[in-house]
Structure 1
Amino acid sequence: MSHAIVPSSGVLVGRARVTGHDHPRIVTVRDGKVFDITNKTAPTVRDIVELGNPAAYVAGSTGAALGDVDAIVQNSWTKKFDPAVPALLSPIDLQAVKASGVTFVASLLERVIEEQAKGDKAKADSLRDDVLKLIGADLSKIVPGSPAAMQVKEALIARGVWSQYLEVGIGPDAEIFTKGQPMSTVGFGADVGLHPISSWNNPEPEIVLVVSSAGRIIGATLGNDVNLRDVEGRSALLLGKAKDNNASGSVGPFIRLFDGDFTIETIKAAELSMRVEGEDGFVLDGHSNMAKISRTPESLVEATIGRHHQYPDGLVLFLGTMFAPVKDRDGPGKGFTHKIGDVVSISTPSLGTLSNRVLLSTECAPWTYGASHLMRDLGKADLL
């Protein structure tokens, strides 16, 4: 897989660690260089998102050049970090980090299998064949919540194979959950974390929408919703333990803001590619085609934010994935799971490439810089 890390066009906004500043700097990319556009008008990415025309604001902002984008990207790898050179951070800050699950048929079936296997990956292969035979329907043609979906639901209940995952996959209500807390995500080049109790896990390559407090979708980026299959498979009530751990969500490299050339329709047509490269020589390639999503991105946003639930600092929403790895890694029937040192790269031409190295969450840098620290530092810098 060979894709550009930074898109060749578009209005981009992100954050960077810059020596001499206590707080993250707001940055954009122009002509192969990264520019610091931090100012009092919009000192956070959240503030930019809340503007009437975020793309026009970023495109029209002047700022100091920080260096070549390629050099800053390379310096963003944790193991290569040089404090004298800027480094990318997650491009979001105060937004709530939300995610939608079971939005693709392929991942829906794998969630049913996880549930039936009770977190035991050794049982997954035989169960996969059994579940496919029992369902006997092309769920990709079913509109969630439709009369046809309800007929399938009744038929599956009668056959004894109904699942809570099928409920949110074809039922009227989408699965929306909190992936992590504001300020908790990591960016390009950072280490992503697996909880040490997990022995069956995988990356989840996703598009992440950026949404204002008014529910307006203003742009998108890439995300890795690190997933612990054995933990969630034991019980859906363990979703928090499976999803929200130190460094368990990565976002980046930049947010691309909607303008005349990049719109929600671009997102709906996007195809994500993903590669896992292990220190053991193992390579896994996968993809996720947004055209096959079972609920529209707009409907997922509407299920998240509205009169029923507000987010004063806006939110980002992981849209889910159709990627469900079943390739054997350590022998026939053993399926896929991460190993420490894996490098995961998620790409699509309009958004670039998000790459991270896999470690245990206990070995990743602890999350110590939160919203209170950011506000204090912005206050000291006279940016509030």
Structure 2
Amino acid sequence: MSNAIVPSSGVLVGRATVPGHAYPRIVTVRDGALFDITSKAAPTVRDIAELDNPAAYVTGATGTRLGDIDAIITNSWADKFDPSIPALLSPIDLQAVKASGVTFVASLLERVIEEQAKGDKAKADSLREDVLKLIGADLSQIVPGSPAAMQVKEALIARGVWSQYLEVGIGPDAEIFTKGQPMSTVGFGADVGLHPISSWNNPEPEIVLVVSSAGRIVGATLGNDVNLRDVEGRSALLLGKAKDNNASGSVGPFIRLFDGDFTIEMVKVAELSMRVEGQDGFVLDGHSNMAKISRTPESLVEATIGRHHQYPDGLVLYLGTMFAPVKDRDGPGKGFTHKLGDIVSISTPSLGTLSNRVKLSTECAPWTYGASHLLRDLAQAELL
């Protein structure tokens, strides 16, 4: 996989801690350096996303040089952080954090297996073969909600293998859920959290769209939609517990804004690489090809925001993943699950690399700085 943290081109915007400022600063990358472009015209990333031309604004914004980007990236790791120099944060702020699930056939089948195993990873291998035999049809060729999909649904119901995950995978309605609250995501180098009750879990490498309050897609970034397979497998009603925990969602390193050189069409063909490196010497590599998504990114945005649901501060939307790791880690038939200290890196050339270390959510830095704190600090700095 590519080791480039920052893409070699493009209009990038993000957030950083900067010495001398109590609140996050808005930053961009120019000629290998990080620049502070915070201004009263757009004091938050949400405000930039609401502009008619966010990329043109960031390109033309007056900035203060903060230092070489490589040094700031190094300082962004939680265990290397020096408060005397800047460090990257999640590049989003006031936006709602939404996610779409079961948008790739590979992960759809794994969700069905989780459900059949009732969260018991020891049963997954034997069930995988049985489920594949029962389903039979090549679901990747089926358009969700189409007459052909409904015929497959009826056939599977008759065979007794219908699942709530198949419903959102090939049915007319996409799964859209709240991943976390505004200001709750972590950025490059931060620790990501697993709830202590989980013993079967995995990373989910995804592209994350940045959407304005008008429903316009203005850019994209990378995300890790950390997942607790055992918790969700016990019951889909535990989705909130499986998905929304302290530091359970990472985003970054920067938002790449759409311009003449980077468009939604490039997102649709992006290939994501992911590597998990454990302190035990275990290495897991995986890939996710956006061209294999079963619903278009635009249709997922339309299912999230519109006349049926408004988001005055805009939103970000995780697009889902086809990556569901099954490589044995601790012995034959034991499958994959995280170990504390794992380093997860998600990469694609157009968006760079997002890396995080895995810890328990109870051991990650607590989330203490919310929207109210940001607004008070911006008001005190006379930026509102």
Shorter chain as denominator, the TM-score bin is: over 0.9
- In 2, the alpha carbon distance for the partners of 1:380 and 1:6 equals 32
- In 2, the alpha carbon distance for the partners of 1:243 and 1:295 equals 21
TM-score, scaled to structure 2: 1.00
Tell me by how many angstroms 1:110 deviates.
0.1
Tell me by how many angstroms 1:133 deviates.
0.2
Describe the SS at the equivalent of 1:210: strand
- In 2, the alpha carbon distance for the partners of 1:133 and 1:376 equals 58
Tell me by how many angstroms 1:78 deviates.
0.2
- In 1, the alpha carbon distance for the partners of 2:327 and 2:175 equals 27
Aligned to 1:54: 54
Query: Is 1:198–1:231's contact at 8 Å kept on the other side of the alignment?
Result: yes
The percent of aligned pairs where both chains have the same amino acid is 90
Tell me by how many angstroms 1:94 deviates.
0.1
- In 2, the alpha carbon distance for the partners of 1:161 and 1:316 equals 34
- In 2, the alpha carbon distance for the partners of 1:283 and 1:85 equals 32
Unaligned 5+ runs, structure 2: none
Query: Is 1:33–1:69's contact at 8 Å kept on the other side of the alignment?
Result: yes
- In 1, the alpha carbon distance for the partners of 2:316 and 2:269 equals 19
- In 1, the alpha carbon distance for the partners of 2:35 and 2:172 equals 45
Describe the SS at the equivalent of 2:345: strand
Aligned to 1:195: 195
- In 1, the alpha carbon distance for the partners of 2:225 and 2:338 equals 14
Tell me by how many angstroms 1:2 deviates.
3.4
Describe the SS at the equivalent of 2:82: coil
Tell me by how many angstroms 1:370 deviates.
0.1
Tell me by how many angstroms 1:353 deviates.
0.1
Provide, for residues 234-260 of structure 1, a one-character-per-residue CA deviation record: whole Å limited to 9, x for no partner.
000000000000000000000000000
- In 1, the alpha carbon distance for the partners of 2:96 and 2:191 equals 21
Query: Is 2:2–2:349's contact at 8 Å kept on the other side of the alignment?
Result: no
Query: Is 2:2–2:348's contact at 8 Å kept on the other side of the alignment?
Result: no
- In 2, the alpha carbon distance for the partners of 1:375 and 1:170 equals 42
Provide, for residues 48-100 of structure 1, a one-character-per-residue CA deviation record: whole Å limited to 9, x for no partner.
00000000000000110000000000100000001111000000000000000
- In 2, the alpha carbon distance for the partners of 1:208 and 1:93 equals 14
Provide, for residues 199-240 of structure 1, a one-character-per-residue CA deviation record: whole Å limited to 9, x for no partner.
000000000000000000000000000000000000000000
Tell me which stretches of 4 or more aligned residues in structure 1 moved more than 6 Å: none
Aligned to 2:79: 79
Query: Is 2:200–2:230's contact at 8 Å kept on the other side of the alignment?
Result: yes
- In 2, the alpha carbon distance for the partners of 1:185 and 1:37 equals 21
- In 1, the alpha carbon distance for the partners of 2:376 and 2:307 equals 31
- In 2, the alpha carbon distance for the partners of 1:83 and 1:180 equals 27
Query: Is 2:274–2:344's contact at 8 Å kept on the other side of the alignment?
Result: yes
Query: Is 2:97–2:317's contact at 8 Å kept on the other side of the alignment?
Result: yes
Describe the SS at the equivalent of 2:94: coil
Aligned to 1:176: 176
Query: Is 1:3–1:348's contact at 8 Å kept on the other side of the alignment?
Result: no
- In 1, the alpha carbon distance for the partners of 2:41 and 2:84 equals 27
Query: Is 1:46–1:93's contact at 8 Å kept on the other side of the alignment?
Result: yes
Aligned to 1:283: 283
Corresponding residue pairs, total: 384
- In 1, the alpha carbon distance for the partners of 2:274 and 2:287 equals 6
Matched, 1:149 2:149: yes
- In 2, the alpha carbon distance for the partners of 1:89 and 1:30 equals 18
Alignment of 1:122-133 (within 5 A): 122-133=122-133
Provide, for residues 99-157 of structure 1, a one-character-per-residue CA deviation record: whole Å limited to 9, x for no partner.
00000000000000000000000000000000000001000000000000000000000
Query: Is 1:99–1:176's contact at 8 Å kept on the other side of the alignment?
Result: yes
- In 2, the alpha carbon distance for the partners of 1:323 and 1:297 equals 17
Describe the SS at the equivalent of 1:325: coil
Query: Is 1:231–1:238's contact at 8 Å kept on the other side of the alignment?
Result: yes
- In 1, the alpha carbon distance for the partners of 2:58 and 2:46 equals 13
How big is the alpha-carbon RMSD for the aligned residues of Structure 1 and Structure 2? 0.4
Tell me by how many angstroms 1:283 deviates.
0.2
Describe the SS at the equivalent of 2:256: strand
Aligned to 2:212: 212
- In 2, the alpha carbon distance for the partners of 1:44 and 1:2 equals 30
Tell me by how many angstroms 1:376 deviates.
0.4
- In 2, the alpha carbon distance for the partners of 1:81 and 1:183 equals 20
Describe the SS at the equivalent of 2:253: strand
- In 1, the alpha carbon distance for the partners of 2:39 and 2:2 equals 36
Tell me by how many angstroms 1:3 deviates.
2.5
Describe the SS at the equivalent of 1:119: coil
Matched, 1:374 2:374: yes
- In 1, the alpha carbon distance for the partners of 2:303 and 2:142 equals 19
Query: Is 2:189–2:356's contact at 8 Å kept on the other side of the alignment?
Result: yes
Query: Is 1:3–1:349's contact at 8 Å kept on the other side of the alignment?
Result: no
Alignment of 1:1-384 (within 5 A): 1-384=1-384
- In 2, the alpha carbon distance for the partners of 1:134 and 1:21 equals 59
Query: Is 1:184–1:247's contact at 8 Å kept on the other side of the alignment?
Result: yes
- In 2, the alpha carbon distance for the partners of 1:29 and 1:332 equals 46
Describe the SS at the equivalent of 1:82: coil
